[in-house]
């Protein structure tokens, strides 16, 4: 079972039976840490994509050269 589905099941049990998160996770056998986990998006996706584009265009440049190009772009 996927973690997102586990969170939904435990949340449903909490609402339907008016029980705590701890008891819902204990009853289903799920870890409480997975119940509280929230995925965070990567804030530097655009930077990574631009770096890949530069690396594909300038194959002979190393990381230092690419870093200089990125700094010039801002």
Task: Give residue-wise pLDDT tens across range 16-66.
Answer: 999 999 999 999 998 999 888 888 888 899 999 999 999 999 999 999 999
Quick check: pTM over 0.85? no
> Alpha-carbon distance 29 to 56, whole Å?
48
Q: Are residues 29 and 47 in the same domain?
A: no
Count up the domains in the chain and report the number.
2
Question: In terms of residue numbers, what domain contains 46?
Answer: 41-74
Separate counts of helices (H) and strands (E) for the chain: 5, 0
Q: Are residues 47 and 23 in the same domain?
A: no
Q: Are residues 48 and 64 in the same domain?
A: yes
Q: Are residues 31 and 49 in the same domain?
A: no
Q: Are residues 74 and 48 in the same domain?
A: yes
Helix, strand, coil percentages in the chain from 3-state DSSP, rounded to 5: 70, 0, 30
Q: Are residues 45 and 74 in the same domain?
A: yes
């Amino acid at each position: 079972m996927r973690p997102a589905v586990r969170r939904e099941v435990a949340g449903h049990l909490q609402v339907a039976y008016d029980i705590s998160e701890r008891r819902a996770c204990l009853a289903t056998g799920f870890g409480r840490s997975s119940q509280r986990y929230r995925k965070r998006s990567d804030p530097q996706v655009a930077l990574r994509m631009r770096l890949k584009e530069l690396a594909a265009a300038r194959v002979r440049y190393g990381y230092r050269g690419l870093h200089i190009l990125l700094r010039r772009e801002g």
